[in-house]
Amino acid sequence: MTCGSCVAHVERVLSKAPGVSSAQVNLTTEIATIIPVDNDVKKQPLIEAVRGAGYDAAPCRQDDRFATGLEHTQQSKLRRQRQALVQAIGLAIPIFALHWLAPILQGNQHGSHVWPSVAEAILCTMLLASPAGAPILAGGFRALILRSANMDLLISLGVCVAFLSGLWALLITHSPAMHFHTAAMIMAFINLGRYLEMRAKNNATSSISALVSRIPLTALRVEKDGSQEVRVEQIRTGDHIRVGQDAIMPVDGRIIEGQCSVDESSLTGEPAVKPREVGDEIPAGARIVEGLVTIQATRVGADSAMGRIIQAVEDAQAGKTKMQRIADRVAGVFVPVVVAITILTVAGLLLLTDNTLTTVINRAVAILVIACPCAMGLATPTAVMVATGKAALSGILVRDAAGLERAGTIDCLLFDKTGTLTAGAPTVSTIDVVAPDAAMSENDILALAAAADQYAQHPIAKSLVDETKKRNLTLTEPDTFSSTPGRGAAATVDSREILIGSARFLKENHIDLTRAQTIVDAWENKGQTSIFVAVDNNCLGVIGLTNPLVKGAASAIAALHKRGISTAMLTGDVTSTAQATANQLGMTDIMSEMTPTDKLNEVHRRQENGQRVGFVGDGINDAPALTAAHVGLTFAGATDVAAGSADITMMHHDLRNILSVIELAQRSMRVIKQNLFWAFFYNSLAIPLAALGKVPPGLAAAAMMFSSISVVLNSLRLRS
């Protein structure tokens, strides 16, 4: 594909293929993403549909998506384009020389003035038949036959008009006004432009290569008869891998022997070195700073942490922003409009003026060449590729391009509290027994609470289980379990009915909390979270948990306010605890004791008031709000449901990364608008100038080349 018209045409034919719900095609990566009606869609009809449109396609294999073949494809194309450029220049230079030196080369003999023109014609024919010209002409004629207007069609029309008019002058009219040098100049500039453009695009896709390079090619697999070095793609789940000091983890794995210090900055962007021991997980791409460990592979290839990052980046780069969809639609009708303008210009010049045929041909060629819409097609995808790649290298994963676009427009950010503003794993600080039964101890309360809540996904449940293990208490398996997100859980443990959760949850289940309320009031004024535990309809104890603020939370909130972005805390916690946390953060807009539905309704309410709402959360109870917000943000440690609902995932739990996301999004949209403005402004100005004869064909080819390259180079500024 060469321009936005190609993208629009391929998308159109793929969308009409059997079993396809929608299709999305990216010009820069040359990847088509198909959304099927069901999972029974066949690949071959899709390939045939693309071939019927005048292009070619092949399935993107799973291993290609992990170790992406994009880099190899780009390198191969760059090599071929370099060869085409050498041929174009090598043949164009003697054509120019013959054209400009023709008066000197001509002799006094009859017919001697013809041989320089004949030589030009022969060299020009060789140029058009070479790899520098034949693919372009073939693409143009194929587009004409299939009625698919694209950039190759415009170039082919321009070159053919110049070449055929030269033959007409040489063989029929014997006019000295030849246009072979015009065709040669166009081909030289087009090939130079494509080579420079391809180099720039190769730089734009370098983030994928950088991510892939973080995974080693081989690993040391431990087998019964010793260790053997194998390629990473040969490793299977369950294999034992030995990883030593300064080595990179080839796959996700759990330590089964040894201990080490690990640098996970390649995934999180956080340079801190962390200790790991038996039972701990280490992700692919992490570096062993010190120690020697044997790990059992838990996720390999595309399923590993680095594999998922690479796939997320590829998916984001293949996506489209709202502006890109508009640009593609415009490009889809642009080429037929240009051809119509050219025909009208030629007709007008021939019928209404006394311009020579040479002048008419020059203007027609200039219009066709200068109007190629390649800059429109490249304006958005190159910027998106650079931005999402830059973000991934910094530990920020963008799920789709549209999410990045929306992130730059938000004016209101809503935050969950537990696990988002405060540490994801709160710690048990106090346990108070409020039961009249003196036989019930703190450990008994904790053991019952942890047993009842051990299958809940909330960070508080994990804290209770961790504290139980720390005290070496028995964790009993519950007979029944049910959870109410944002409220609490109910379970049967050793034939006893356990309720654990917020005061609101227990009151809804008709539990009397009078005896516990005095204790709770004192805790919550200090910012502690209170969890009530009821056994057989009686409140027997209260567990107090503390949640330290996450790194950079207060400074991030202050910076957001400075940018003019309002913030609010939406939490299921009680008002006093939420207020204590908000005071530390400098937040004034607080909504407490909220259910997932309440959070969702608050997002909708603010959107109806005209606000562009972002939501930051990490739990199952945050999933509805994350999905409904203009942009949802979460962290790598979030639940699968939350991660699947968010548009942007930050690998490191530092709220200051939100500022990086917003800044990158705003810069990206600024660059995209600059690119699109330049692309449309260029064509709006260039076509009239060419029609008026102010731009000769050679200069038109140079201008078209410059417009495309300038768009790509402007996008590359996002890398810095």
DSSP secondary structure letter of residue 652: S
User: In 173-191, which positions are buried (b, 16+ CB within 10 angstroms) versus exposed (e)?
Assistant: eeeeebbbbbbbbbbbbbb
In total, the chain counts a number of residues equal to 720
Question: Three-state SS for 416?
Answer: coil
Q: In this structure, are residues 589 and 557 in contact, taking their beta carbons and an 8 Å threshold?
A: no
Task: Kindly state the greatest CA–CA separation across the chain.
Answer: 127
Alpha helices in 479-552 (DSSP H): 503-508, 514-524
Assess whether 416 carries a catalytic annotation.
Answer: yes
Contact residues for 603 (Cβ-Cβ < 8 A; gap 6+): 414, 613, 615, 625, 628, 629
Picking from 445, 545, 546, the residue whose alpha carbon sits closest to that of residue 500 is 445
Q: In this structure, are residues 589 and 598 in contact, taking their beta carbons and an 8 Å threshold?
A: no
| The two three-digit tokens of residue 401, written as one number | 């391009």
Query: Which of 239, 252, 315, 416 is the catalytic position?
Result: 416
Q: In this structure, are residues 383 and 676 in contact, taking their beta carbons and an 8 Å threshold?
A: no
Residue the block writes with tokens 């959760």: 501
Task: Say how far apart CA 544 and CA 599 lie, in whole Å.
Answer: 24
Helix (H) / strand (E) containing 253: strand 252-263
| The two three-digit tokens of residue 340, written as one number | 């119509």
DSSP secondary structure letter of residue 234: G
| The two three-digit tokens of residue 253, written as one number | 């794995």
Question: Three-state SS for 624?
Answer: helix
Q: 484: left (phi > 0), else alpha (psi -120 to 50), else beta? A: beta
Residue 504, Cβ density class (10 Å: 0-12 exposed, 13-18 middle, ≥19 buried): middle
| The two three-digit tokens of residue 328, written as one number | 């593609």
Phi, psi for 21 (deg, rounded to 5) = -85, -45
Picking from 161, 183, 10, 164, the residue whose alpha carbon sits closest to that of residue 96 is 183
Q: In this structure, are residues 648 and 404 in contact, taking their beta carbons and an 8 Å threshold?
A: yes
Contact residues for 189 (Cβ-Cβ < 8 A; gap 6+): 698, 701, 702, 704, 705
Residues known to be catalytic: 416
